[in-house]
């Protein structure tokens, strides 16, 4: 078997395609959008992300762990990040009818300079189209029927959330919502708003997908929270699919990426 020189490996790292030889598959991640010039640590991690996989083994994505990090505090374009994660009604035998509904709405106010959380908004929501929480939903999210009974409906919760935003000074601050994926603000909230005929506030129509930010920062795609936690050697803040625990976890991931010198900027937007 021939030995690859450093020049050959370097050329493979910059390639946008897959290079095959008789014994190995070299996978690059350059399909992710590249951001500004990265720190030496990130460049080193990109090199580690390239794997040699035996052709006898199935191809798999491995996100390298990060145990030694340099804190590089660069100014952010926002004063605060509002980290959000919905939980919704669900069932294990197909789509829930007539449509899924938000049953937990947690948001954390994350300072973009200190990377600390100064305030939370957390509210359970009473579903009305299908008011009964399934056993599958309880098993997945930890939300039981008594936690949503007698709670405000989604339109009432959004009114309370607006008052919280005003009280926290978020309506006049440079803020951006952060989610782990595009489902929360790109699909779930617009869908429920359409079904129940209420207006989505303008500030909830754009957001930053932290998975895309991580990809932009490192060139490596993360499928979900577990991949991001593994990449930074972090533990989940509590129960997976508990909205408030997921929010705390996303805050930790957002902070870890920011402390490596990444400047958040990519904002997705929902268009009716």
Catalytic residues, which ones? 87, 241
Residue 268, sorted as left (phi over 0), alpha (psi -120 to 50) or beta, turns out to be beta
Q: Are strands 175-179 and 206-209 parallel, antiparallel or unpaired?
A: parallel
Q: Is the peptide bond before 98 cis (omega within 30 degrees of 0)?
A: yes
State whether the Cα torsion 200-255-245-211 is positive or negative.
Answer: positive
Burial (CB count <10 Å: 0-12, 13-18, 19+), residue 236: middle
What does the angle CA 251 – CA 106 – CA 74 come to, to the nearest 5 degrees? 25
Closest CA to 105 of 59, 167, 136, 147: 147
Whether 266 and 215 have beta carbons less than 8 Å apart is answered as no
Question: Distance from first CA to last CA of the chain, Å, rounded?
Answer: 57
Whether 194 and 162 have beta carbons less than 8 Å apart is answered as no
């Amino acid at each position: 078997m021939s030995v690859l020189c450093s020049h050959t490996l370097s050329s493979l790292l910059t390639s946008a395609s897959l290079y095959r030889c008789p014994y190995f598959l070299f996978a690059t991640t350059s399909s992710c959008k590249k951001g500004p010039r990265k720190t030496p640590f990130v460049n080193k991690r990109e090199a580690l992300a390239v794997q040699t996989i035996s052709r006898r083994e199935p191809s798999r994505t491995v996100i390298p762990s990060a145990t030694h990090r340099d804190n590089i505090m660069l100014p952010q374009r926002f004063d605060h990040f509002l980290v959000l994660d919905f939980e919704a009604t669900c069932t294990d035998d197909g789509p829930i009818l007539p449509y899924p509904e938000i049953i937990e709405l947690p948001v954390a106010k994350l300072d973009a300079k200190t990377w600390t959380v100064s305030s939370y908004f957390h509210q359970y929501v009473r579903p009305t189209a299908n008011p009964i929480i399934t056993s599958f939903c309880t098993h997945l999210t930890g939300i039981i029927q008594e936690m949503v009974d007698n709670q405000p409906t989604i339109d009432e919760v959004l009114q309370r959330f607006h008052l919280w935003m005003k009280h926290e000074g978020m309506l006049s601050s440079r803020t951006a919502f952060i989610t782990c994926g595009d489902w929360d603000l790109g699909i779930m909230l617009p869908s429920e708003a359409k079904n129940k005929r209420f207006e989505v506030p303008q500030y909830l129509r754009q957001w930053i997908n932290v998975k895309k930010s991580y990809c932009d920062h490192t060139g490596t795609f993360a499928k979900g929270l577990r991949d991001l936690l593994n990449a930074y050697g972090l533990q989940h803040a509590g129960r997976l699919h508990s909205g408030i625990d997921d929010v705390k976890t996303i805050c930790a991931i957002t902070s870890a990426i920011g402390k490596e010198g990444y400047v958040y900027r990519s904002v997705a937007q929902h268009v009716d």
